[in-house]
Every structure is written in structure tokens, then in C-alpha cells.
Structure 1
Amino acid sequence: MPRARVHDLDRLMDAAEKMAVDSGPAAVTVRALSEVTSVSNGAIYHAFGSRAGLMGRVWLRAAQRFLALQRDAVEHALTAVSSRDSPVEAVVAAADSPAEFLVQHPISGRFLLTVQRDELLGSSEIPDDVADELRKLDRTLVALLIQLSRGVWNRSDRESVAIIRDCVVELPTALLLRGKRNPDPAVRERLAAAVRAVLAIAPPPPTKTPTETK
């Protein structure tokens, strides 16, 4: 069975992404994708190995695009704002990135909200290389949270990083993304104000480990 060409892989992933957004993840089957794209079942299996491999690759592509946009937004804030304010504005930029991603890449943005990463990693059929790449993305996000925490408070302990995560992950989910296809600019402004308010309060002292208390 000939292997699908590179541009066919992107076309297949685009179609699978749209199917998941329009009809839910369960609608994405190899047979349904074959019918939509006119690519044979065999070619799809040859390209992705399984349905889980297909979904993992689609999620991975979307997440990589998002993290690249988020990283660019953070770097821009760090260089475009005065040095005193840039660490806080970098967190604001990171928090706003999910909304901006939905604007620039609406289907990919909705796909990331529709299909949960943990569901993919929980599948026994997902290829090892895809699972490894998904975990690498986790480490990339953690590294960004630590960088932002160090920039704001010169700390990288659990308590300070958790607050940055609240700003970058939890607040956007609560204020921007629930049921939103095109995030309201006013809501994005409220999110920025909320992030700045959270960061205005210093985190609690780091929790000492048992070895540190001896």
C-alpha cells in the first residue's frame, strides 16, 4: 500500500480536525475520514497506524501550533514593554494566547478544547512516539510557567508556579473559552485585568520539604 504523501497527511488531519469540531471526537473514524477525503482506509492506516494515532497526530499538530503562538506572544511582551512591567505583561500575553489562537486558527483551537490530551494518552493504541511528543509538550509548558514565575517573582517553587498556571491555564478556560468561538474583546480585557490583579499579590512562602525542615 503506497504511503500517503505529505500534503495528503495535512489534508487528512485538517479533515479529521474539522469532523471532531463539527460532530464530536466519536465521529472521527478511519472509514468516515476515508469517505470525506477519498483516501483509502489502507492508506490512512498506513499513515497513522490507528485511529488513536490519527487523533494523537492531529492534537499534537494543533498543540504545537498553539505553543509556538504562545511563545511568540511571550517573547514579544518581554521585548516590547518596559523592563519593569514586561514580566507581568508576558504572563498576560500567555493567558491571552488561547483566545488569540481561536481567532487565528478557529478549527484547531476548538479541536484542542474538544479533545482532551489525557484521553489520548489513556488510549493503549496511541503510538509510543506520539505519546512521547505529547509528554514533551507538557515539559515545554512547564518550562514556560517556570520562566514566567522567575520573571515575576524570581521564584520557581511549586506555590509560585501554580499561580502562574492559574493565570495562564485556569483563568482563560473560565473567562474566555467556555462555548466561545470568537472570544469577546471585552472579555479578553477582563482576563488581562484579572491576571494583573492576581500577580499583584505575592505568592505564599515556599512549602519546605521534610528534608528541609530537619
Structure 2
Amino acid sequence: MARPRLHDLDALLDAAEELLAAGDGRAVTIRAVAERAGASSGSLYHAFGSRNELLGRLWLRAARRFLALQREAVERCLAAGDAWEHAEDATVAAALTLRDLQASAPASAQVLIRHRREQLLEDGLPDALDDELRALDGELLGVLRRLAASLFGTADRRTVETVAVCVVDLPPPLLDGRRPRLIDPADALAAAVRGVLRAARPAPSGA
């Protein structure tokens, strides 16, 4: 029989996430998280096994929150019809998901904006957690392919890469928030996404 959990896992992840959102990965030590959560270091090792697994679970939770919002926004736009404009709106909405996450879960948003997973996590995650992270990557790729097919009629490497530039590459630097800006970052992001998509849009037949 498994030993009972002494502390709520979400509360422990919240404490770790707040530390990571405010600094870098080195700030997230088992001791620092335990102190912030009012728990013992032993309870964290009991819950997660290692610091690396704690960071992996933290990342997975933040990414799942993000993906849930992104899917909802994309499907809402695509439900309006199959015209190019609806697919373009869906891609803009997907790009702005980080802004939406900033409103509902600001620490999760900061983690995803400021920390790349491959730089944060070390090798040697438990197989089950590694499988969950890979499955999440597959789900995100599914969103990119859906957008590419809606925009361009195909989800080949070129069209998926075009959507990935809009949805993955552009949002973090514009929505980071550490630099004061005179323009609205969300408006700038939306305009940039529309510009990339329209530059990649095939010319109408016979044009």
C-alpha cells in the first residue's frame, strides 16, 4: 500500500512555480521549496523523488494549463467557419494564449515564457513522466497541424513550421513583460502573426 501524502501536491508545485517564475532554475531547490510551502524536505522527496522530477511535474502542469486554453481558443474560432479569416483568427488566438494564461495562472505563464524545458530539465526523468511530456508534445503538434491544415489545406513541414513561428516562437519575447513598452504587446503580436500568415498564404488560382 502506498504511503499517504503528507502535503497537497498542488501546493508544493505552487511553491516551486513561484520560485521559478521569480528567478532561474537554481532558485528551485528542495530546501527552498519546502520552506516556501511550509513543508519538510523529506515530504518533497516523498512526493517527487528528486528535484528534477519536481521541475518536470511543474512544467507539465503549466503546459497542460496552457494547452487547455489554447485548444479552447482555437476551436472557438474554427467553429465560426472554414474561411481563411477564421483560421487566421484561430492562429492569432493560439499565439495570445500566453496572455490569457497570464491572467488565470500568472506564475505558470512566466515559467513557460522565461524557461525552455530542455534547459530546465536534466536527463533521467522517470519513464512515466517522460512519457507524459512526450504525449503533451504530440498534443501541441496536433494543434499546429490543425491550424496549418485550416490555413493552407495541408499540414506539411513548411506549413506547420509557419504556424509554429507564429504560435511558439513569437509570443514569449513579446509577452515577457520585463521590458516596458509604449505599444501594446498583444496588439503587436497579433499584427506580427497576421503578417507572417499573409506572407505565406498561397496566391489565389489564376492570380
What TM-score do you get using the length of structure 2 for normalisation?
Answer: 0.86
The residue that corresponds to 2:86 in the other structure is 86
The residue that corresponds to 1:107 in the other structure is 107
The residue that corresponds to 2:146 in the other structure is 147
Distance 1:71 1:185 in 2: 27
Cα 1:174/1:111, change in 2 over 3 Å: closer
Cα 1:197/1:38, change in 2 over 3 Å: closer
- Counting aligned pairs with the same residue, the percent is 43
Distance 2:48 2:147 in 1: 36
Cα 1:160/1:23, change in 2 over 3 Å: closer
Q: 2:197 aligns with which of 168, 176, 199?
A: 199
Cα 1:184/1:9, change in 2 over 3 Å: farther
Runs (4+) of structure 1 moved beyond 3 Å?
Answer: none
Distance 1:180 1:95 in 2: 19
Q: Which amino acid aligns with 2:162?
A: I
TM superposition shift of 1:82: 4.7
The residue that corresponds to 1:212 in the other structure is none
TM superposition shift of 1:37: 2.1
How does 1:122-133 map onto structure 2 within 5 Å?
123-133=122-132
TM superposition shift of 1:104: 2.1
Q: Which amino acid aligns with 2:189?
A: L
**Unaligned 5+ residue runs, structure 1?**
205-214
How does 1:36-47 map onto structure 2 within 5 Å?
36-47=36-47
Deviations 1:115-164 (A, max 9, x none): 3211345x134222112111111111111111100001101111111111
Cα 1:171/1:49, change in 2 over 3 Å: same
What TM-score do you get using the length of structure 1 for normalisation?
Answer: 0.84
1:3 touches 1:47 (CA, 8 Å); kept in 2? Answer: no
TM superposition shift of 1:114: 3.4
Q: The residue matched to 2:170 in structure 1 has which SS?
A: helix
The number of residue pairs the alignment matches comes to: 200
Distance 1:90 1:184 in 2: 26
TM superposition shift of 1:109: 0.6
**Does 154-163 or 24-33 show the bigger shift?**
24-33
**Residue 130 of structure 2 corresponds to residue 135 of structure 1:** no
Q: The residue matched to 1:200 in structure 2 has which SS?
A: helix
Distance 1:136 1:62 in 2: 15
Distance 1:95 1:131 in 2: 26
1:48 touches 1:54 (CA, 8 Å); kept in 2? Answer: yes
TM superposition shift of 1:178: 5.9
TM superposition shift of 1:42: 1.8
Q: Which amino acid aligns with 1:37?
A: A
Distance 2:125 2:176 in 1: 27
